[in-house]
Amino acid sequence: MSDDDKRALRPATADEIEQSLAFALRFDGRRRVNTADDAMARITAERLLRHLLLSGFVLMKRPEAAAPSTSRHRHPNTD
């Protein structure tokens, strides 16, 4: 990771962490996991988040990446 990438990091919000954990509990990649329903995933994510915060963890998040282009045309900004 370059120094520029490190400077662009910011602390992830509690909501972002909770949503990511809940998503990970409901899906395996893009395939839905049938053993974890939405309510249980949300409850588990809340408890994991609470534990991480009380344990002093700081999770960092990169800035949002630009959406990839599906155009076959060259863009003037890229070489």
Decide if 26 contacts 36 (C-beta within 8 A).
yes
In this structure, what DSSP letter does residue 54 have? H
Per-residue pLDDT, 8: 81
CA angle 10, 12, 17 (to 5 degrees): 160
Question: What does the block give as tokens for 68?
Answer: 């990839």
Q: Which residues of the chain have pLDDT under 70?
A: 1, 35-36, 67-69, 71-79
Per-residue pLDDT, 62: 84
